[in-house]
């Protein structure tokens, strides 16, 4: 009996130590295969890294060295002798891992990362860093951290080749260093495409040397701060003090920087709509009288959306499809764009082009008669086909938003499906290559929480909804689905900190949807990982939204004129506390259990969430009269 009892205690002790030694694996995006072990690899004071001699790997090694030394205070020695190393990077032959896959093996003595291509080694390094404590992302030394990596075997490769984020630099301008900062955050989560929205009504951000007014005029606008799309008329001679643009040298630097991190940059020149900045620079590109008085939009209303899409333009922001000067202009622009960006695709927009000015224009009517065009969408298709030929002449492929399908375009045009999934599904069935970026899952300019704590936007996209994104929807021809991306439009985003706030953590959800097998996705597990990665972003000084800790608030009107408020948490494990007496609640205040009846005379509802007696969410202050307006 005594012997059996002692054996039981020994086995329990071993089991406990094994569990303690095995840290949870919290990698985003979730790898294809993870097999945990016991024990850990302790990062030595002198870290010896071996890697093949390769110019493609030079920046990767520099990146790894910087990460492993900055926070830890350790040193790194590189060698080509794998036997002398404790972290070994190796390129292997074979095609099982593809161009971006890798294997990562951690033993108590050594770390091995193997891949077919340099990109795979880079992504293996991202996973390795995520196995280290969150403090590894610090930009200065951190003390009292156990720099250990759990023993594990990982085999991983992406589900899709196009894993993108779109950054709109037209509505608000971001410096070269800020774009690099955005790229640095992207690559932690294995994104490989930066969609660069360079032109719009609010600004032309790319130097075109053959058309200098595009930046001397089109890159600058009146400076207004507040709620975009609500600003009033300009004052007389109000200066155009806000703006900026990228020179050729800036673009070359960004392309180089992105390429070293295995990111391709796809430029977008948004035409024929969204072209007010270009028309302000060169009014002859319009066929509407008075275009010489136009200026880049500064946030005033220019479209009437009351009838839906396409909108009714209050002024003509379109390049004229019946104007031959437009095609000469596009040839000059695309010549320089093609030279600056090595990526195979150029995005030419095509979205939201209003029709009302075209419908009344004599030149457009003459074009329709001459070319046998029956509808205005066919007029836009005429434009798209002509600019596609220009793109092809530059040795590139064209991509456009899904509106370009409406009048019929060449099968060689790739489609970015944003108005839901339907257009992308249909385009893939017709043999168009497709990138899925539907508003329902991937528009990260939308609010990610309740309007009481988020900057008001006309739509909402919670993290759990982004996590439901399936870039291979039912009915699509998977052969033609390149991948997907999230889009960050920046009308309301004035600086890089807020751009980061809107991107993360929804960027986690999109990355896992694009990289990981669908069957590996698990919401509860993802939430646990997300909270760990919040700590990583804090150390990295990257901003993020804590909206997952704030409940959604809905209001119903009851018989008798009373109002009931429902609180719905996005994640489990939270308690929601509230007050109607204007005082700030804490965890000693009443906890939400059922819909709250607004008391007579109350003017404000205040809500706070807790987890395990620690404050989790933000103080939500909701005026009763505003709550009542939420009733549909």
Instruction: Kindly list the catalytic residues.
Output: 200, 274, 352
CB 75 within 8 A of CB 98: no
CB 118 within 8 A of CB 57: yes
Tokens 């890089």 -> residue: 496
The pair of structure tokens assigned to 186 is 């992207």
Distance CA 44, CA 11 (A): 31
Per-residue b or e along 66-91, where b marks 16 or more CB atoms closer than 10 Å to that residue's CB: ebbebbbeeebebeeebeebbbbbeb
Distance CA 571, CA 574 (A): 7
Enter the DSSP assignment of 44. Answer: P
Distance CA 75, CA 629 (A): 60
Distance CA 345, CA 83 (A): 43
Cα 164-168-171 angle, rounded to 5 deg: 170
Kind and range of the H or E run holding 68: helix 55-70
**Crossing angle of helices 176-188/118-131, nearest 10°?**
80
**Other Cβ atoms within 10 Å of 153 Cβ, number:** 15
Enter the DSSP assignment of 208. Answer: -
Distance CA 354, CA 352 (A): 6
Per-residue b or e along 192-229, where b marks 16 or more CB atoms closer than 10 Å to that residue's CB: bbbbbbbbbbbbbbbbbeebeebbebbbbbbebeeebe
Using DSSP, state whether 446 is helix, strand or coil.
coil
The pair of structure tokens assigned to 579 is 């007050």
Enter the DSSP assignment of 379. Answer: H
CB 400 within 8 A of CB 413: yes
Distance CA 440, CA 432 (A): 22
Distance CA 295, CA 69 (A): 50
CB 239 within 8 A of CB 282: no
Evaluate the CA torsion angle 368, 369, 373, 375 in order and state its sign.
positive
Distance CA 218, CA 146 (A): 53
Output the furthest CA–CA distance in the chain (Å, rounded).
Answer: 102
Distance CA 490, CA 229 (A): 12
Cα 226-232-234 angle, rounded to 5 deg: 105
């Amino acid at each position: 009996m005594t012997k059996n009892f002692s054996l039981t205690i020994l086995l329990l002790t071993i089991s406990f130590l094994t569990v303690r030694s095995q840290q949870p694996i919290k990698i985003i995006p979730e790898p294809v295969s993870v097999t945990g072990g016991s024990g850990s690899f302790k990062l030595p004071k002198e870290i010896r890294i071996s890697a093949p001699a390769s110019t493609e790997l030079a920046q990767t090694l520099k990146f790894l060295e910087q990460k492993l030394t900055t926070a830890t205070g350790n040193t790194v020695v590189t060698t080509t002798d794998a036997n002398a190393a404790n972290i070994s990077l190796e390129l292997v032959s074979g095609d099982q891992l593809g161009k971006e896959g890798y294997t990562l093996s951690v033993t108590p003595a050594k770390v091995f990362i193997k891949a077919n291509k340099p990109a795979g080694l880079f992504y293996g390094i991202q996973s390795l860093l995520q196995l280290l404590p969150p403090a590894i992302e610090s930009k200065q030394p951190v003390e009292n951290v156990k720099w250990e990596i759990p023993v594990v075997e990982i085999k991983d490769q992406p589900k899709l080749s196009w894993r993108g984020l779109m950054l709109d630099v037209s509505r608000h301008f971001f410096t070269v260093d800020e774009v690099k900062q955005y790229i640095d955050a992207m690559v932690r989560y294995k994104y490989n495409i930066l969609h660069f929205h360079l032109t719009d009504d609010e600004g032309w951000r790319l130097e075109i040397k053959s058309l200098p007014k595009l930046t001397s005029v089109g890159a600058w606008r009146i400076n207004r701060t507040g709620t975009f799309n609500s600003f009033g008329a300009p004052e007389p001679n109000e200066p155009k003090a806000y703006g900026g643009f990228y020179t050729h040298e800036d673009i070359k630097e960004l392309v180089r920087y992105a390429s070293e991190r295995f990111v391709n940059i796809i430029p977008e020149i948004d035409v024929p709509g969204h072209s007010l900045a270009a028309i302000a620079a060169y009014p002859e590109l319009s066929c509407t009288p008075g275009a010489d008085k136009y200026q880049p939009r500064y946030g005033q209303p220019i479209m009437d959306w009351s009838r839906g899409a396409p909108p009714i333009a209050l002024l003509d922001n379109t390049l004229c499809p019946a104007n031959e000067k437009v095609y000469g202009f596009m040839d000059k622009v695309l010549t320089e764009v093609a030279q600056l960006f090595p990526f195979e695709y150029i995005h030419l927009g095509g979205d939201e082009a209003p029709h009302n000015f075209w419908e009344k224009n004599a030149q457009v009517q003459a074009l329709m008669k001459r070319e046998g065009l029956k509808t205005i969408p066919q007029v836009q298709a005429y434009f798209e086909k002509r600019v596609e030929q220009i793109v092809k002449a530059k040795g590139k492929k064209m991509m456009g938003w899904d509106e370009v399908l409406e009048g019929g375009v060449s099968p060689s045009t790739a489609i970015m499906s944003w108005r839901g999934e339907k257009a992308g599904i249909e385009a893939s069935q017709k043999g168009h290559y497709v990138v899925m970026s539907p508003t329902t899952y991937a528009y990260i300019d939308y609010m990610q929480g309740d309007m009481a704590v988020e900057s008001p936007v006309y739509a909402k996209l919670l993290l759990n909804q982004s996590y439901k994104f399936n870039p291979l929807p039912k009915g699509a021809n998977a052969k033609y689905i390149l991948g997907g991306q999230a889009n960050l439009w920046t009308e309301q985003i004035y600086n890089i900190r807020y751009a980061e706030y809107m991107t993360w953590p929804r960027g986690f959800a999109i990355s896992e949807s694009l990289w990981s097998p669908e069957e590996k996705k698990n919401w509860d597990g993802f939430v646990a990982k997300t909270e760990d990665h919040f700590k990583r972003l804090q150390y990295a000084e990257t901003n993020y939204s804590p909206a997952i800790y704030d409940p959604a608030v809905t209001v119903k009107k009851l018989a008798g004129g009373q109002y009931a408020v429902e609180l719905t948490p996005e994640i489990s494990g939270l308690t929601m506390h509230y007050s109607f007496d204007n005082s700030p609640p804490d965890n000693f205040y009443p906890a939400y259990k059922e819909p709250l009846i607004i008391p007579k005379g109350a003017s404000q509802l205040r809500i706070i969430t807790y987890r395990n007696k620690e404050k989790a969410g933000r103080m939500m202050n909701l005026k009763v009269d505003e709550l009542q307006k939420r009733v549909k």
